[in-house]
Structure 1
Amino acid sequence: MEFRIPVSPRRWQILSAIEHALDAIDLQDVGGTAAAARAALTGVLAAPAHASAHRISAVGHAHIDTAWLWPLRETVRKVARTVSNVTQLMDEHPEFQFVMSQAQQLAWLKEHRPEVYARAQEKAKTGQFLPTGSLWVEPDTNITGGESLARQFVHGKRFYLEEFGVETEEMWLPDTFGYNAALPQLMKLAGVKWFLTQKMSWNTTNKFPHHTFWWEGIDGTRIFSHFPPVDTYNSDMSGADVARSVRNFQDKAAANRSLIPFGYGDGGGGPTREMIARAARLADLEGSAKVVVEPPAAFFEQARSEYADAPVWVGELYLEFHRGTLTSQLATKQGNRRSEHLLREAELWAATAAVRHGAPYPYEELDRLWKTVLLHQFHDILPGSSIGWVHREAEETYAEVARELNGLVGTALTALAGPASGSTVVFNAAPHARDGVPAFGAAPARETPAPAGAVVAGDSFVLDNGLLRVTVDARGLITSAYDLSAGREALAPGSTANLLQLHQDFPNEWDAWDIEAFYRNTVRDLTEPDEVALAEGGVRVVRTFGASRIEQLLTLPAGVARIDIDTKVDWHEREKLLKAAFPLDVRAEYTSAEVPYGHVNRPTHTNTSWDAAKFEVCAHRFLHIGERGWGAALVNDSTYGHDVTRDVREDGGTTTTVRLSLLRAPRFPDPEADQGSHRLRYSLVVGADIADAVREGYRLNLPERSVAGSAEVAPLVTADHPAVVIEAVKLADDRSGDVVVRLYESHGGRAEAVLTAGFPLAAVEETDLLERRLPEAGEHVVADDGVRLTLRPFQILTLRLSR
């Protein structure tokens, strides 16, 4: 039997018209006979689209990576070329509209090419040039910290408001490598209504089931979202792209609209005359979707009106691709992590010094430093997927940022510490009290208990602080981590922890971007030490392998069931992946990984292809794993990539192995990626619940500071509920002197707390991220310089405290 693919009669009509048009052309007089050829096509090209035809909103766009295979400075030229091109097209085509989605790029244009910038502002007034996206750059949203994401909105939206008078309402992130589950709430708090990305079409295992949907975050906030079914953010508006959009659109049973971003990206200049002409030709043509050039907001308004009951996707948008970006270029990731925490400290202590002593608040310096850090969170810088030039410059920039921020912190602490008189004051910037020092305050230095130290026991070393007993064998591996309070062993029987494992790392295509599941097929356990000895209150372990060397110091601090592992690596491997394994004797169905302003639960099993695809996942300061009544946490100061596997043993128990991804060595686009010296810290916290994981994660990343002085410093603000974490304390950006506090519920439950100010409090106002009063917010009654708060799970709250 012969099968034939049905061909639409419309195709035959068009082919026949084209044949007649070609017959009408005299190739020796094309100009003179073109009119006759066009006449032969008039009939078929005049036939209107069907009433039920799919609607496509075509949005002029140029996706310009702020850095990638070129340095930052080249992007300035790419932006100038692109904006020059599109504003010229706007003169010729008044119907043409173009979106630009990174405020940083426009700020560069204003600084370096003011005449081109003036053209953009001129065309913004006519409604043709459309600032969009609401962010300073298009950042990575896996690795970027919560407060940094808030500031991406603050600086992006504020630039558009001040320079263009535009209140942007969309988040435009076509090319970022996955999206954390806190983003819906952050978007809403920034006044953003819509979300667009294309990247989820790059999934390599599971096809995302929707193109238009509601995205629900960890706190329950929902944002109307769209993935363009054209599967590109660089469309040329060809018939093939339009047809692909219609064919691929997965919500066609209930909805009939999609969006196409069109234009050459990365310095290619954006849309062309040909693209604009194609969009015009396809405006109302039989056999095609109806195409209209219009702003994203117009599309989203119509799409939501048409499909208000769109399906809901709950939780993170995990990209099943580019998992290696959680680990590549460790120095860049460390620079970002440390800059984020230094910015927190600088704002906190500068605000405290301003309120307590009238010290000047460094508005300009903090604004500039924030923008520098936000710039380097771009989705090819922070993920480690740019050329070596970009990352060398990033390291130099982070060093300068650290120098300046430590200077600001030092100035504020000196003002707060008071006269030295031979004494020392200890400052604690972490959101939880520790060792007699209040959160966000300072106390005179006290006698600090020394680490537990280690004793030799046969051919092993034992560290014991009364809460945790750790045994390290002659190979330098942890063979026991015994929880003395609970009376149970943390490690699986017969296993060893802090086992460094070396894998071959040959992704199929994108070196710096990808880790493939088959990397697990080959592994070398680093079990042969060069040295294992008592040292510095703990155990020192040295290993060499290949051309590399690792030195670790294992210590057990007093008063906490936590083993600290300070690691120095001189790394000279190529196309290798280094992991640190902790096999735990715990039966857990899910892990809890810190994300911005909360944590997400991910299954430890691989029941479905969606579960199996998450073989490398992101966690910020902690990853917690537990069963009812007992758990453990791995906390870190600069690691993001993790993997979790589970096995049922012959004794019926379950071994759940958690591993940190420490280093990679890809060759493209930087042949020298990660080569050289690194220092990083991580810890195993035994008997830990979520509260312990949150607290220890902050403590590791915000060490105490000792300053010569004698004054006790009361906190500027305090919250009396352990789940309520104060994430930022600063003075208001409008220079009113008001204190702005951003806090969130961190445990995933309801919390009632009293926020108390360490100064006379006149009023409390709930605001959006831009420190503007939220019209729907209720009144907060001030009593005894405090205010009672009720927070839902993972709720973020920004409060403006008037003195």
Structure 2
Amino acid sequence: ASLPSVLHHTGLIGFSTQKLTASSGVPAALPLPFNIGVWNGPDGKGLISVLDATDYDGDILPRLDIDPKWVDRLAKDEEKYGILFGYRYYGAGDMGGGLRERDLVNLEESMNNPDSKLKVVLTSSDQMFKDITPEIELKLPIFSGDLFLIEHSAGSQTSQSFMKRLNRKNEELAQVSEGMALIANYLTNARYPIEKLNNSWELVLGSQMHDILPGTSIPSAYNLSWNDEFIAQNGFSNVFKSAAGDVSSQLNTKTKGRAVTIYNPVAVYREDVCTAELEYTTVPAHIKVYNTKGKEVPSQIISRNGNKIKLIFIAQIPSIGLAVYDVRESATSSKLRTKSLSIGKNTMENEYYKVAFNDKGDISSILDKKLNQELLSKPARLEFLKESPKREPSWNMYWYDRKNSAFAYMDQDVSIKMIESGPVRVAFEVSRKGQNSSITQIVTLSVGEAGKRLELANKIDWQSTGVSLKASFPFTAENDNATYNMGVGTVQRNTNHEKKFEVPSKKWLDLTDKAGKFGISILEDSRYGSDKPDNNTLRLTLQYTPSADRCPTWLYQATQDWGIHDVKYALYSHSGDWSKSETQWQAEFLNKPLIAFESPKHSGKLGKEFSFMSISRPEVGLMALKKAEKSDYYIVRVNELSGKDVDGVSIKFPGNIIDAYEINGQEQKIGVVQIFGNRLNFDISHYTIKSFAVKLVSQKQLVFNQSIVDLPYDEDVMSFDTYRMDGDFTSRRVDPIYHWHVETYPAEMIPNELISEGVKFKMGSTDDFKNNVVNCKGQDLKLPSGDFNKVYILAAATEDTSGDFIVNGKTTNLNVAKWHGYIGSHYDRIFDNDGYTVLDVKAPFLKKDNIAWFASHYHFGYPTANVPYEYSYIFKYEVYLDQKTNKITLPDNSKIKIFAITIAKNNGDNIQLLLPLYDDFKENEPYKLRNSN
């Protein structure tokens, strides 16, 4: 429903599809609203759309100009709308290949005939849209709302759920990283890393094609796509870390204890729980945390692991802002107590909710204390539904399954135990099993504003087949319609029926009682599909592994998603309608947690708190904050959240605005905007997207001295396509089978100068027979003299290894990653020769070495080839440098190759992230095959 609004904002003039006819053979199929018309989004804006462009692999039959079907189709459109033209695809579809000769012959025979009833024109896909005049457009029919397929694609809202988690997490991390990089550019003139950001974005967008993200690709495709997403996460996270260091250098981090800086990536002031893991030489007995004003805040240690402590505390952070908190060791525990927070036998409570569990581990009661309203009509259960598609299992769900009630529940081997009880948060751990799978849920209630969400963090050990797992919420609110967020705008949908029984949403869905007195929102961080079986129940789909008994072509899909999965969802209740509540913002808080990092202590002109921007109205949200693609302007994209027109919106920046104007999604200027000092003012209509290009008064440049180190290259590891026998990274030039087993980097892809997080590196020559790396043999390298504190090294290895780098007698052991292959994988099924029987499931892994450069392939010498989708990498490492040092001793490990070294004085590169920015699987238990399916 929201796609037309997005396309309109980008400046596109037309849209066409053949996919909607995929349901045409289904008896319950909805008729298309038109062949050619205007499809509007929730903001009332849209574009000319062709909803039945026919098959993209369709043939052109002889004499199309007199074809009865097309003559009749155009005659009906003329009778209804006064238009006499049509639009159709033809060709080989999505399998590749050019124009078929028979189609060309039939097209030629369909033109310029004296008995033609239609004029056939072979033209570009956009020509019709260009030819439609405003007068013609006024005649076109208009449609607003969903255009669903029936059955087909219902399952793909959940299939390959980890792929969907990667996509969501990367979208969020990209936005967080772009914003921090922009703030760093504004405050310190740090270089905005547009290349690394765009390279990462391109990998994410590539995985959004119509089989990968929907979860309908063959299994081997996901090894490639997971790797793409991991590379993107690597890029985004290193952009964030570098930029956060630059920004932190401008803050006052002088504290009595350890300086923990917290970033709020959401465009609204926020009080929330912050989580951080700190490492100590001697682990303290207790911890106390103080805010920017020196006042102690509620804090709580939630785990101890060796010399590490994981703690949570309440933080108050401004919009798109940072604040420095003081974490102090203490011999005594904090005396702060929060009276509203309590936990007892199967009950937990804060100032907003009182929650009870039954002996099956289900939440049996949620009392909204502010409204004095029970939210559940019966226990919220984890339901198993039968899923037995008659075709295309990963794609499809069927009404004959969905109309039935749950046949089983996650209710075996139930364990409920209290795991947290403190001034910040209380928590139960609920574990149970069902249908050869198990789940562990951490159910939490927090103090303060964060307590408005009842959160459930789920770790699902999944090995079921022929089922979906749904988190069912039978509410006391009752309404035939529920509201679903679409990212841009919302849509209302009614209770399940044969034409609609699994629907998408993004970040939240809501059921408000028909009387309008109260409602409950379900917030989620990576699950898109849900259904509404009756007027008071919403069910979030957590996992979907259908049977494939009826589908011999797709037998491997009956084990899709086997592995361990993390997903978090939450409940948030409100008075009145959702649009008058904080639903949108609570969903953002769940998806964008506070980010904590530690930095050295120093003074800073910004003080202990800083906000880059704020929006005056809570009905307006931030969609993007980034640098322009082709200028030095900053791009600010916002949208209206509540479905109402809002006047007098103001965006406040930390400095005066030099220039600003309105743009479309392609960053083309489309209008003017009011500027008053450091504020940008505008009106915005319901659900509309608006984008602005803004130029602010520049700040003082951060001093970042760096010097390139000349290297004595002694090996050649690069080759051009024209001669792939040149060079060898593996040092295995003579191979008994291939005789010349040489593997090299693609020289065409190697830049002369490589920039990673602002550090410039000079690469070696890519010419044939020229050396371009240093083989590590324990040799000394001379370093330039000057005021420097870091050695930055570009390196890779023939296999994962480690080496000792020695500077001024101090040894730093660095793990150096293999130069090609996967940097990560999720749970990868190993099949028998039949292609579907699972023999084993490989454990996931992830390398987090900073990827400075990558290519989609490498070169193989003989038989000569580009090895596709075997990514090659160059990694960036760093070693602290003493100012008195003039040399570095390389490891005595010939597996490690050095490409370039730069030394620098970089005071903005000394922060330590206190939690991973993305999944690393370290907390997952070993996964074992069970024989119950």
Superposition TM-score, scaled by structure 1 size: 0.71
Shift of residue 526, structure 1, vs aligned partner: 2.4
CA distance in 2, matches of 1:759, 1:366: 25
1:226 aligned onto 2:50: yes
1:696-744: per-residue Cα shift (whole Å, max 9, x none)? 11111101011224753422221110011011111222242x2110011
Q: 1:665 aligns with which of 522, 537, 545?
A: 545
1:288 Cα deviation (Å)?
Answer: 5.8
Amino acid at match of 2:532: V
Mapping for residues 759-770 of structure 1, pairs under 5 Å: 759-770=655-666
Letter of the 2:533 counterpart: T
Displacement, 1:600?
1.5
The CA deviation at 1:486 is 0.6
Residue of structure 2 in register with 1:207 after alignment: 31
Distance 1:453 1:540 in 2: 17
Q: CA deviation at 1:504?
A: 1.6
What displacement does 1:604 show? Answer: 3.5
Secondary structure of the corresponding residue to residue 543 of structure 1 = strand
Shift of 1:509: 0.8
Q: Does residue 679 in structure 1 map to residue 566 in structure 2? A: yes
* 1:613 and 2:499 correspond: yes
Pair 284,657 (structure 1): closer, same or farther in 2 beyond 3 Å: same
Candidates 226, 229, 241, aligned match of 1:410: 241
Residue 353 in 1 paired to residue 242 in 2?
A: no
Structure 1 contact 512–669 (Cα < 8 Å) conserved: no
1:326 corresponds to 2:157: yes
CA gap of 1:198–1:449, structure 2 versus 1, over 3 A, is: farther
State the distance in 2 between where 1:724 and 1:332 align: 30
1:636 counterpart = 2:459:
no
| Offset, 1:397 | 2.1
Name 2:511's counterpart in structure 1: 625
**Paired residue for 1:783?**
676
- The aligned residue for residue 86 of structure 2 is 258
TM-superposed deviation, 1:483: 0.5
Distance change (3 Å), C-alpha of 1:360 and 1:307: closer
Q: Is the 8 A contact 2:522 2:569 kept in 1?
A: yes
Alignment partner for residue 379 of structure 2, among 491, 496, 505? 496
> Following the alignment from structure 2 to structure 1, what is the Cα–Cα distance between the partners of residues 339 and 623?
29
Q: Which segments of 5 or more consecutive residues in structure 2 lack a partner in the other structure?
A: 272-315, 328-335, 421-425, 549-553, 602-606, 697-933
2:37–2:50: 8 Å Cα contact kept in structure 1? yes
Say which SS state the counterpart of residue 530 (structure 1) adopts.
strand
* CA root-mean-square deviation: 2.3
Number of corresponding residues: 599
User: CA 1:669–1:261 in 2, change beyond 3 Å: closer, same or farther?
Assistant: farther
CA shift for structure 1 position 546: 3.3
**Is it true that 1:712 corresponds to 2:583 in the alignment?**
no
| Alignment-derived partner of residue 728 in structure 1 | 624
Tell whether 2:201 aligns with 1:370: yes
* Aligned residue identity for 1:491: L
Could you report, residue by residue, the CA deviation over 1:271-299 in whole angstroms, capped at 9, with x for unpaired residues? 12221110111124437643221223333
Give the unaligned 5+ runs of structure 1. Answer: 1-180, 607-611, 648-655
Q: Counterparts of 1:247 and 1:257 in 2: how far apart (Å)?
A: 12
Counterpart contact for 2:7–2:46, Cα < 8 Å: no
Distance 1:713 1:415, change over 3 A: farther
Q: Deviations over 1:195-214 (max 9, x none)?
A: 11111122332221311111
CA distance in 2, matches of 1:670, 1:388: 8
Asked if residue 484 in structure 1 is aligned to residue 369 in structure 2, the reply is yes
**Structure 2 CA distance for partners of 1:516 and 1:240, relative to 1, 3 Å:** farther
Deviations 1:650-698 (A, max 9, x none): xxxxxx1000011111453743410111111001112263342101111
SS at match of 2:582: helix
Q: Residue 491 of structure 2: which of 600, 609, 618 is its match? A: 600
1:557 paired with 2:477, answer: no
- Among 649, 657, 668, the residue aligned to 1:772: 668
Q: 1:450 to 1:330 in 2, by over 3 A?
A: farther
CA distance in 1, matches of 2:192, 2:591: 24
Query: Within 1, Cα distance between the matches of 2:340 and 2:434?
Result: 30
2:339 & 2:95 partners in 1: Cα distance?
Answer: 56
Match in the other structure for 2:427: 538
Would you say 1:801 and 2:689 are equivalent positions?
no
Is residue 529–residue 541 contact of structure 1 (8 Å, CA) maintained in 2? no
Q: Secondary structure at the match of 2:643?
A: coil
Please list, as runs of the form range in 1=range in 2, the aligned pairs for 1:687-706 lying within 5 A after superposition: 687=574, 689-690=578-579, 691-706=581-596
Does the Cα contact within 8 Å between 2:463 and 2:563 map onto a contact in 1? yes
* Contact 2:63–2:107 (Cα < 8 Å) also in 1: no
Query: Per residue, is there more strand in 1 or in 2?
Result: 2
Aligned to 1:343: 174
The reply on whether 1:508 has 2:384 as its aligned counterpart is no
Paired residue secondary structure (1:684): strand
Change in Cα spacing, 1:785 to 1:613, as seen in structure 2 (3 Å) is same
Shift of 1:541: 1.2
User: Which residue does the alignment assign to 2:412?
Assistant: 528
Distance 1:449 1:553, change over 3 A: farther
| 1:451–1:684 CA distance, 2 compared to 1 (3 A) | farther
Q: Which of 275, 278, 298 is the equivalent residue of 2:106?
A: 278
> Given the alignment of the two structures, is residue 574 of structure 1 paired with residue 397 of structure 2, yes or no?
no
Pick which of 237-246 and 680-689 moved more: 237-246
- Distance in 2 (CA, whole Å) between partners of 1:259 and 1:451 is 67
**Partner SS for 1:714:** strand
Percent of counterpart pairs with the same letter?
23
Letter in 2 for 1:318: F
Q: Which residue is 2:732 aligned to?
A: none
Secondary structure of the 1:345 match is helix
Offset, 1:343: 0.3
Deviations 1:239-295 (A, max 9, x none): 497544444555242332212211112345131222111011112443764322122
Q: Does 1:744 align with 2:564?
A: no
Aligned AA (2:6): L
Q: 1:431 maps to what in 2?
A: 267
- Check 1:268–1:791 CA distance in 2 against 1; reply closer, same or farther (3 A cut): closer
Contact 1:385 1:669 in 2 (8 A): no
For the residue of structure 1 that corresponds to 2:506, the secondary structure is: coil
In structure 1, C-alpha distance between the alignment counterparts of 2:666 and 2:162, rounded to whole Å: 31
Decide whether aligned partners of structure 1 residues 449 and 735 sit closer, same or farther in structure 2, where only a CA change above 3 A counts. Answer: farther
- The one-letter amino acid of 1:550's match is I
Any idea what SS the aligned residue of 1:639 has? coil
For residue 674 of structure 2, what is the amino acid of its counterpart? V
Partner SS for 2:229: helix
- 2:39–2:48 Cα contact (<8 Å) kept: yes
Q: Does 1:217 align with 2:108?
A: no
Report if aligned partners of 1:468, 1:481 keep a CA contact under 8 Å in 2: yes
* Distance in 1 (alpha carbons) for counterparts of 2:627 and 2:136: 43
CA distance in 1, matches of 2:101, 2:532: 51
